[in-house]
């Protein structure tokens, strides 16, 4: 990781440059208004330049700043393509270019976690990582009992870097507020920080994976959750699973395979809360494998959210109300859940036009997810004018990971170009969604 900014003073300076740049742009905007440029035009220009600088700096930093950038899809979706495109490219390049830890460093982490005699726990251990991520890397090995295992090793110092970044980012709420004035940024950043702290703790990840395996046992006809073999310190050892990565199906799969994988993918994300009280919070295609027996294998349980039954019902009820032809009831429900904050007025017609296509997959018997449909959704939120209703909406902290799953999961389904019965899966698995079904029929 030596090619990325690491020293605290360097990281702090980059983050500190953001409010200074914003102040300069605000002063420039006042000057332009003085010379006759419309307030709305100046506001849009300030927002675009603020967004450009914000995401540029986030993309240059590894750790908490980069992870925040990856997670805040609500901001990215609100940006014009000329800003969001290079930002995504920067994140991809950083992640792909992250150099692996030297074998000696990996061995130190293993010794700290499993003991100085860690090699006795393995029949074989491959020093070359099989995969790398933002806070750790995975090695393939053979456990002492002969099982193929995946050994997840966290980068030394990753935790301190992440927490330091989030402490810095918490001071930048005003900048995010420029982009999304209806958003309670402080609460959202606090929630994200708590999630990242949990993701750093492999004890929590091991517990989450074990609980999810109990909800989706080894003989499940649709899914396979690898068993946790061992966990200690910054080391997590689980079963290794082979299969076709979802990304490979996206690029090369035939239509039947796409539809089958997509149905299981959708079913897994929707059914987790009701089956084991957990929501898998990182639905990236790299975390899923289509196994030879047709089941979907699931990896990486660092970002898992506990979903209480009461909250499951509230989410389902909100989703159901969103499918109804009653915009007043929809607005009331959004206010109840604080998606529209107290004192914020929204354009009801604009809200109705914005929500209608988003709820479409949960209204029709089957729905075809496509890149074209996704581009249309994105176009609805890339308008930075103050009149755009999406800029007045809030993301309540408890919905942060839910939004992440819904937006990222929808993106994967659109990449699969699939047709699946998303509504039927929701009726089957989402508490609250089927309530009052006969009394309030959805829009056809």
> Do residues 222 and 283 touch, judged by C-beta distance below 8 A?
no
Task: Write the DSSP string, 362-416.
Answer: GTSSSEE--HHHHHHHHHTT---STT-GGGG----GGGHHHHHHHHHHHHHHHHH
Q: What average pLDDT does the chain have?
A: 78
**Distance between CA 98 and CA 133 in Å, rounded?**
8
Whether 155 shows a pLDDT value over 50: the answer reads yes
Whether 151 shows a pLDDT value over 50: the answer reads yes
DSSP state of 221: S
DSSP state of 439: T
**Distance between CA 45 and CA 223 in Å, rounded?**
48
Q: What digits encode the pLDDT tens for the residues 190-224?
A: 777 777 788 889 999 999 999 999 999 999 999 99
Q: What digits encode the pLDDT tens for the residues 261-314?
A: 999 999 999 999 999 999 998 888 889 999 999 999 999 998 899 999 999 999
Taking residues 130-150, report their average pLDDT.
90
> 305: closest CA among 339, 286, 277, 284?
277
Residues 6+ apart with CB under 8 A from 14: 5, 57, 60, 61
**Distance between CA 151 and CA 144 in Å, rounded?**
13
> Do residues 323 and 444 touch, judged by C-beta distance below 8 A?
no
Whether 87 shows a pLDDT value over 70: the answer reads no
Runs of H (alpha helix) within 223-324: 246-252, 255-276, 309-322
Record the tokens describing residue 258, joined without a space. 């796409």
> Do residues 290 and 244 touch, judged by C-beta distance below 8 A?
yes
Q: 180 falls in which pLDDT band (50, 70, 90)?
A: low
**Distance between CA 110 and CA 104 in Å, rounded?**
10
Which residue among the candidates 165, 282, 300, 305 is catalytic per the annotation? 282
Phi, psi for residue 228 in degrees, rounded to 5: -75, 125
State residue 441's pLDDT score: 42
pLDDT above 70: percentage of residues in the chain: 67
State residue 71's pLDDT score: 47
Q: What digits encode the pLDDT tens for the residues 310-330?
A: 999 999 999 999 998 899 999
Taking residues 226-232, report their average pLDDT.
97
* Angle 200-203-208 from CA coordinates, rounded to 5°: 95
259 is catalytic: no
State residue 362's pLDDT score: 93
Record the tokens describing residue 430, joined without a space. 């989402």
HSE toward the beta carbon, residue 436, CA cutoff 13 A: 13
State residue 438's pLDDT score: 39
Record the tokens describing residue 75, joined without a space. 């901001």
Taking residues 401-421, report their average pLDDT.
89
Whether 399 shows a pLDDT value over 60: the answer reads yes
State residue 175's pLDDT score: 59
Task: Write the DSSP string, 260-288.
Answer: HHHHHHHHHHHHHHHHHSEEE----GGGE
**Distance between CA 65 and CA 196 in Å, rounded?**
11
Record the tokens describing residue 345, joined without a space. 């007025």
Q: Identify any residues that bridge with 80 across adjacent strands, giving them in sequence order.
A: none
- Give the position of tokens 């983050």: 15
> pTM of the prediction?
0.77
> Do residues 321 and 330 touch, judged by C-beta distance below 8 A?
yes
């Amino acid at each position: 990781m030596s090619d990325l900014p690491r020293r605290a003073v360097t990281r702090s300076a980059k983050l500190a440059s953001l409010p200074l740049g914003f102040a300069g742009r605000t002063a420039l905007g006042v000057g332009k208004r003085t010379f006759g440029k419309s307030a709305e035009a100046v506001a849009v220009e300030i927002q675009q330049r603020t967004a450009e600088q914000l995401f540029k700096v986030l993309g240059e930093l590894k750790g908490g700043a980069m992870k925040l950038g990856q997670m805040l899809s609500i901001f990215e979706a609100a940006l014009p393509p000329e800003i969001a495109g290079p930002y995504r490219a920067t994140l991809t390049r950083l992640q792909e270019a992250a150099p692996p830890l030297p074998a000696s460093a990996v061995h130190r982490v293993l010794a700290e976690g499993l003991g100085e005699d860690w090699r006795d726990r393995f029949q074989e251990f491959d020093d070359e990582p099989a995969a790398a991520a933002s806070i750790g890397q995975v090695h393939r090995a053979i456990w002492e009992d002969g099982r193929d295992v995946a050994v997840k090793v966290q980068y030394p110092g990753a935790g301190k870097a992440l927490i330091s970044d989030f402490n810095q980012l918490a001071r930048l709420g005003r900048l995010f507020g420029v982009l999304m004035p209806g958003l309670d940024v402080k609460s959202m950043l606090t929630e994200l920080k708590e999630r990242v702290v949990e993701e750093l703790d492999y004890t929590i990840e091991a517990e989450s994976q074990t609980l999810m395996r109990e909800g989706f046992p080894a003989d499940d006809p649709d899914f396979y959750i690898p068993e946790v073999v061992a966990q200690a310190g910054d080391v997590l050892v689980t079963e290794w699973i082979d299969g076709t990565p979802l990304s490979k199906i996206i690029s090369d799969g035939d239509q039947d395979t796409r539809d089958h994988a997509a149905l299981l993918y959708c079913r897994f994300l929707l059914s987790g809360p009701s089956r084991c009280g957990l929501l898998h919070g990182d639905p990236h295609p790299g975390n899923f494998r289509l196994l030879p027996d047709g089941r979907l294998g699931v990896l990486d349980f660092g970002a898992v959210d506990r979903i209480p039954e009461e909250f499951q019902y509230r989410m389902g009820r909100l989703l159901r109300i969103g499918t109804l032809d009653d915009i007043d009831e929809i607005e009331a429900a959004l206010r109840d859940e604080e998606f529209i904050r107290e004192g914020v007025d929204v354009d009801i017609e604009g809200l109705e036009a914005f929500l209608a296509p988003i709820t479409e997959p949960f209204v029709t018997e089957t729905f075809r997810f496509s890149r074209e449909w996704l581009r249309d959704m994105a176009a609805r939120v890339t308008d930075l004018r103050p009149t755009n209703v999406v800029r007045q909406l809030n993301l309540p902290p408890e919905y942060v990971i839910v939004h992440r799953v819904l937006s990222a999961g929808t993106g994967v389904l659109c990449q699969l170009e699939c047709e699946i019965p998303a509504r039927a899966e929701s009726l089957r698995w989402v508490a609250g969604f089927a309530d009052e079904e006969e009394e309030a029929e959805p829009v056809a």
